[in-house]
Amino acid sequence: MRNYQQFYINGQWVAPSTNNPLDVINPATEQTCAQISLGAQADVDAAVSAARDAFQSFGSSARQERIELFESIISEYKNRYNDIAEAISEEMGAPISLATKAQTGAGLGHLKTALAVLKEFHFEEQSGASRIYKEPIGVCGLITPWNWPMNQITCKVAPALATGCTMILKPSEIAPLSGYIFAQIMDKAGVPAGVFNLINGDGPGVGTALSSHPQVDMMSFTGSTRAGSLVAQNAAPTVKRVTQELGGKSANIILDDADFEQAVKRGTFSVFNNTGQSCNAPTRMLVPADKIDLAAEVAANTATKVVVGAPNNESTTMGPLVSKLQFDKVQGMIEKGLKEGATLICGGPGKPEGLEQGYFVKPTVFSNVNNEMTIAREEIFGPVLSILPYANDEEAIAIANDTPYGLAGYIQGNDQQRISYIASKIRAGNININGQSGDLNTPFGGYKQSGNGREWGVHGFEDYLEIKAVSGLE
């Protein structure tokens, strides 16, 4: 069992201010796999003080110094690559293939992308008679989720570090193991003391203390819309900047001229990826009304190809949900779909046969769903697909936009002009056409209650910078 009870503050591994241990549960076995400590106000105060002191020098560090630091971090990340993948699989149940390629690979990708952007980024520019400077915002609080732990850690830490900010990272207490290894990487790579700090903890104990702290200049949060709203409320009295990447209920519009079976398969597999625990999953599949039965049949056949099982099994394509809380939530949403009259095509309540231990769920497909049903309105965060009929393109657009969220949208079809029009009407931050998604330079973020600000690539730098105009100098 892993013992990860220390915090990383001011370049040192230190004991927490209070003795408040927490067991980390392996969701595939329901057994304790590690123990961490939950932090408190005193730990946050110590980390913020260290970050504030470090900013005095790191905030004006040379670009080349930060480039060399990134090169060292990337080298050490590669050395620990397999350790990170194993930790992710253990802490949140990702199949080892997914943990290795997509989850851990995303972390390395964000580090490399930030390094490339840093080398070319213009931190100052001339505008008429004024000189415009882009300066680091200061001390940043970073709160990251459990579903894509290393992806979210690196897409916050990398731009903060590249722009000259200092930071305090609070990973999810549900899946904190990969974050702890990342702190070891930062230490081994020689990040200056106080520039990067890690405190484990929960929202009330550490998240609130961090977001309300008067010496924190910015909060970057990824998680539920409910928790993101609380972070913003806590930050409001000190008028600090808050960026958020929150929930989603993304529509996947399959047009009548699409390669229909391929489109349905692609959309269905996307929902089941990462056990449905992705904020941008295309969980509402919109199909022409006269093809809804065919869509249900193809989706059901696709679900049979999903291999649910132990994450350390190479043949597994879908592992467990992350926790009992999440398992109970998803089971409740499936029951609600049945109660409200949706047609269950496959899956349903309960665990898959032979997987009684662990938070495993069945790949589930509902058809004949309407947009007033709970399973079409609320983010389930599990492998549950809802198929909805539409009569024409305008109705599809209306259904897609009839949601408080606006993170992503999906369109599949062959008429590029028609697709372009629909894409222009969908109120969401990322639109994916025929399975094509962006790369790590594509801005990621949402409209409406899916958050504000953008992450990834050059766009991710902007949120960590203040703009200063200097006018009148000769």
**Active-site annotation holds for 346:** no
CB of 188 within 8 A of CB of 412? no
Q: CA-CA distance, 188 to 186, in Å (whole number)?
A: 6
* pLDDT averaged over 10-residue windows placed end to end, the chain, 474 residues: 97 98 98 98 98 98 98 98 98 98 98 98 96 98 98 98 98 98 98 98 97 98 96 97 98 98 98 98 98 98 98 97 98 98 98 97 98 98 98 98 98 98 98 96 98 97 98 85
Token output for 196: 């990067």
Instruction: Tell me which of 245, 346, 379, 455 is the catalytic residue.
Output: 245
Pairing of strands 465-471, 451-452: unpaired
Q: Determine the pLDDT at residue 238.
A: 97
Strands 218-222 and 241-245: parallel
pLDDT of amino acid 91: 98
> Is 43:16 a contact under the CB 8 Å cutoff?
yes
Q: Is 279 a catalytic residue?
A: yes
Q: What is the CATH number of domain 2-246+450-471?
A: 3.40.605.10
Nearest C-alpha neighbor of 109 from the set 162, 154, 64: 154
The single residue listed with the structure tokens 């620990």 is 80
Tell me which of 140, 155, 279, 346 is the catalytic residue.
279
Which residues, 6 or more positions from 291, have their beta carbon under 8 angstroms from its beta carbon?
256, 260
Class of domain 251-440: alpha beta
pLDDT, residue 473, reads: 83
Q: Which sequence spans correspond to the domains of the chain?
A: 2-246+450-471, 251-440
